[in-house]
Amino acid sequence: MPEPIDRLRDQILKNVLDSVPRAFLEGFAKRAQDAYVGVYEEVKADTRVLGPQRLFKLKSVRQHRLDFEMMEAAQAAGMVGTERPLPYNDWCHAYAVSGTFGLTQSYVPAIGEKPQSAKFRDALASAANVPRMPLDDDEEIYKPRTYYGLLAHNPVGKRFTDEHQKLGSLNLCVPYPEMSGWAFEMNVWELIGLYPAEQRKPTSQRAPILKRRPAKKKEGEK
């Protein structure tokens, strides 16, 4: 019989595949790869930043850029999102929802150094209790979710070089219900591969009907 933790992981995986659009994960993964390279090149070309400070600027700018890319991927996949209701450590994290999931993203220094699991429910509860103007975010944002996932990413290495600052890993991490730690963690590209194959419309095997020209009548025939 599967252990309780295995059953929980299987349950989370099923909900990911049912709730989180594959197009969102594919879009964000591609955008993250491009953003890692693009932001590095921008900081590298900035002559107004002192050498020892480039890594610090890179981490800051990259977090801004990845929030933007996550929101673009969410919008393209038809998800509802906002950058407003999750303030932690003086940072307003982008946040998107779909089905049973609420999702955000964060840079992590290296594999195994994920941030302490954030209490998303507390943040959303506080946000939901604040009076909002009619033009504020879609109320769908403030509905409690069964799961809250973190798209955790980090570079290949730690030095300020082309190879070290490419995207190294991108994982979806989901905390335990009591937010005591991480119950589920999977590489996003591996996760994408678990989605069911898209059904293709059957193509007709019938040969095209060719119309023949009528035979020419001989002279004198009616």
pLDDT tens digits for 152-195? 999 999 999 999 999 999 999 998 887 777 899 999 999 999 99
* Residue 210 predicted with pLDDT over 50: no
Is residue 138 within 8 Å of residue 132, measured between CB atoms?
no
What H or E segment, with its residue span, contains residue 104? strand 101-107
147 belongs to a structural domain: yes
105 CB-side CA count, 13 A: 31
Quote the longest CA-to-CA distance of the chain: 101
114 belongs to a structural domain: yes
**Out of 29-33, 142-146, 183-187, 198-202, least confident range:** 198-202
Task: Categorize the per-residue pLDDT at 216 as very low, low, confident or very high, splitting at 50, 70 and 90.
Answer: low
100 belongs to a structural domain: yes
Amino acid letter, residue 19: S
Highest mean pLDDT among 28-37, 125-134, 202-211: 28-37
Q: What does the pLDDT read at residue 124?
A: 56
Domain count, the chain: 1
Report d(CA 57, CA 103) in Å as an integer.
25
6-53 residue pLDDT tens: 999 999 999 999 999 999 999 999 999 999 999 999 999 999 999 989
Across the chain, what does the average pLDDT equal?
81
**Length of the chain, please?**
222
74 belongs to a structural domain: yes
Report d(CA 26, CA 176) in Å as an integer.
25
217 belongs to a structural domain: no
> Which residue range forms the structural domain that includes residue 18?
4-192
79 belongs to a structural domain: yes
199 belongs to a structural domain: no
Could you tell me which of 105, 214, 96, 87 has the C-alpha nearest to residue 167?
105
CB atoms within 10 A of CB 52: 8
31 belongs to a structural domain: yes
